[in-house]
Homo-oligomer: A and B are copies of this chain.
Amino acid sequence: MATRARVLIDCKDQKGLVYKISKIFYEFDLNIDSNQEFVEKEDSHFFMRTVVTGEFDDRALEKSLKNIVGENAKVKVVTPAKKNIVLMATKESHALGDILIRYLDGELDANIVAVIANRDNLQPLVERFNIPFIHISADSLSREEHEELVLKELAKYEYEYIVLAKYMRILTPNFVAKNEGKIINIHHSFLPAFIGANPYKQAFERGVKIIGATAHFVTNDLDEGPIIAQDVISVNHRFNWKDMQRAGRDVEKIVLSRALKLVLEDRVFVYTNKTVVF
């Protein structure tokens, strides 16, 4: 018997849907702690995230809801539990460190099961937090060979999400396909501006007055996946690109951690390369 759950529904909209869903909540004698809905008008698609409390059989609730909303709907009743995540990094410590400090704080609803990096300089930092650090160098390996080693290592763990905390290598379609919808990245620009390599240098050369960072799910199109969160910071002519990079790190780490928190709390729905964030 559960006492609290997040009900996540993602389906074609239909008249009476909220009525039918809330009827089931009523029949299960549930309290609605919070409720958010959204109807995407273009395709008339319905999204709902409801936190319910009471004493109830969560599997039975899920089944009842599925009967109502139809075959192709996605219905999930999620009871509170820490999700397993793997972090991947290269050599910068700000985004990784920010997650580690929050982890220590108990601020994240997650277990960090491992950190995988293609460089080894972050090993002392990670091991200070008693988290396994796995160094998989990419030196003299093809992209595919390197990823093969990473996938082999990943196979040892159960995880729901991979968080790229400034992992500076591009992932192949094969890797992405094997982790579909599971990979969260932080891109160090305000996408879609400055896709690709060294966005701060691009930003400096363009002479922008604001720089930003974007957390998104990874798809096969580089830096084109669904955006979860973005934020920006003002710069001016006194900033060279190194200064922008330094200032940008604060935005990167906050945006990545914010996106991770949203995902861990089941607040993010992906739909047609966009997100609905409750």
A-side interface residues toward B, CB under 8 Å? 15-19, 22-23, 25-26, 29-41, 93-94, 97-98, 100-102, 104-105, 107, 125, 128-129, 190-194, 206-210, 212, 226-232, 234, 236-238, 240, 246, 250, 254, 257-258, 273-277
Interchain CA distance A17-B230 in the complex, whole Å? 36
A35-B18, A193-B190, A207-B227 given as contacts; is B237 within 8 A of A107 (CB)? no
* Residues in B neighbouring A32, C-beta threshold 8 A: 17-18, 37, 39
Which 5 A/B pairs are nearest by Cβ-Cβ distance? A207-B274, A97-B101, A128-B128, A19-B22, A193-B193
One of B38, B125, B257 near A104 (C-beta < 8 A):
B125
Interface pair A209/B193, CB less than 8 Å apart: no
A154–chain B nearest beta-carbon distance, Å: 26
Interchain CA distance A250-B258 in the complex, whole Å? 10
**Given A15-B30, A36-B36, list of 20 further CB < 8 A pairs?**
A19-B23, A23-B23, A34-B39, A34-B238, A38-B238, A40-B237, A41-B240, A93-B101, A94-B101, A97-B104, A101-B125, A190-B190, A190-B193, A190-B210, A191-B193, A192-B206, A208-B230, A209-B277, A237-B274, A254-B254
Interface pair B97/A93, CB less than 8 Å apart: no
Interface pair B19/A26, CB less than 8 Å apart: yes
Closest B residue by C-beta to A125: B104
Interface pair B107/A246, CB less than 8 Å apart: yes
* Residues in B neighbouring A107, C-beta threshold 8 A: 246
Interface pair B191/A192, CB less than 8 Å apart: no
* Residues in B neighbouring A275, C-beta threshold 8 A: 207, 237
Residue from the set A240, A274, A276 with the largest chain B CB neighbour count within 10 Å: A274
Interchain CA distance A273-B205 in the complex, whole Å? 9
Interchain CA distance A70-B63 in the complex, whole Å? 33
One of B18, B93, B193, B240 near A18 (C-beta < 8 A):
B18
A and B contact pairs by CB, cutoff 8 A, 13 listed:
A18-B25, A19-B23, A19-B25, A34-B38, A93-B101, A104-B125, A190-B190, A190-B210, A192-B194, A192-B206, A207-B274, A237-B274, A237-B275
* Residues in B neighbouring A15, C-beta threshold 8 A: 26, 29-31
Interchain CA distance A26-B18 in the complex, whole Å? 9
Interface pair A33/B29, CB less than 8 Å apart: no
Interface pair B192/A210, CB less than 8 Å apart: no
* Residues in B neighbouring A254, C-beta threshold 8 A: 250, 254
Interface pair B29/A18, CB less than 8 Å apart: no
